[in-house]
């Protein structure tokens, strides 16, 4: 199982938001590039870089993402604020290997399908939910389509991977939502990256032990920044 460190960007800095709430922000690093390089030095084989300003519609962190991509020799998957095919291509030109579509999946189906059609496996669906209800625009708005229905929809478009986040667990240290992951896995035959809630090595071990086989990777954020988990140990624990 692949452990993917998260770099959430707001105002050019690494931050973490509890349950996606911008008023519950903790800032960690002034230079996200150094954090990215440290993650790779510790063994990361992929990085997860999210533009929170782009997701909230309050700005962008394109330059920071480009600098991260130039500084490391592992694939970077990036999302937040990707609303058009040109936005997606701009991230790829900046050096990203994959783009993550979130809000676009429900707000503009035609544009989302256009991105998937153009980029193929380089387009990943980011599906974030509170229970069965999908949230968009930096998790600030709920939409009518349910979590499992959206998984089936994007799989029908040709999406090969979903990053699934249970928002109520994100940043809480309560562990991954195994039941939610099982529901997503049952919705469609698609690769799944788990996100939201990891705090200890036991959370990762439980994920590997109890999650469906299609869950082949996980995103870890706050635990790495606050020291409740060391990346090298996490990678070894689920290798």
Is 189 exposed, middle or buried (CB count within 10 Å of its CB: 0-12, 13-18, 19+)?
exposed
Q: Which residues contact 94 (CB under 8 A, 6 or more apart)?
A: 62, 65, 66, 69
Q: Is the dihedral of CA 112, 113, 114, 116 positive or negative?
A: positive
Residue that the structure tokens 């996606």 belong to: 20
- Residue from 51, 128, 148, 177 carrying the catalytic annotation: 128
7, 36 contact by CB (below 8 A): yes
CA distance 68 to 98: 14
Q: Which of 8, 53, 148, 203 is catalytic?
A: 8
Q: To 10 degrees, what angle do helices 32-41 and 62-71 make?
A: 30
Q: Please count the residues of the chain.
A: 239
Q: Is 73 a catalytic residue?
A: no
**How do strand 13-17 and strand 25-29 relate by DSSP bridges?**
antiparallel
| Residue 8 annotated among the catalytic residues of the structure | yes
User: If residue 93 lies in a helix (H) or strand (E), which one and from where to where?
Assistant: helix 85-93
The residues, ordered by sequence, that sit 6+ positions from 146 with a Cβ below 8 Å of its Cβ are 132, 133, 134
**3-class state of residue 3 by DSSP:** strand
The set of catalytic residues is: 8, 128
């Amino acid at each position: 199982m692949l452990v993917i460190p998260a770099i959430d960007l707001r105002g050019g800095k690494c931050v973490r938001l509890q349950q996606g709430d911008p008023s519950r922000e903790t800032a960690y690093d002034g230079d996200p590039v150094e954090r990215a390089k440290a993650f790779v030095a510790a063994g990361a084989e992929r990085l997860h870089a999210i533009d929170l300003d782009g997701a909230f519609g309050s700005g962008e962190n394109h330059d920071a993402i480009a600098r991260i991509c130039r500084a490391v020799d592992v694939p970077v998957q990036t999302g937040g604020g990707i609303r058009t095919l040109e936005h997606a291509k701009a991230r790829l030109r900046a050096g990203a290997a994959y783009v993550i579509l979130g809000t676009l999946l429900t707000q503009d189906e035609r544009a989302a399908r256009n991105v998937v059609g153009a980029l193929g496996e380089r387009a990943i669906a980011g599906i974030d939910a509170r229970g069965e209800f999908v949230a968009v625009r930096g998790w600030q708005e709920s939409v009518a389509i349910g979590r499992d229905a959206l998984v089936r929809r994007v799989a029908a478009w040709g999406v090969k991977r979903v990053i699934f986040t249970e928002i109520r667990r994100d940043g809480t240290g309560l562990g991954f939502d195994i039941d939610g992951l099982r529901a997503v896995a049952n919705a469609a035959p698609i690769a799944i990256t788990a996100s939201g809630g990891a705090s200890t090595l036991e959370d990762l071990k439980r994920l590997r032990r109890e999650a469906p086989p299609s869950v082949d990777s996980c995103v870890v954020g706050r635990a790495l920044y606050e020291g409740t988990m060391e990346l090298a140990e996490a990678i070894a624990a689920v290798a």
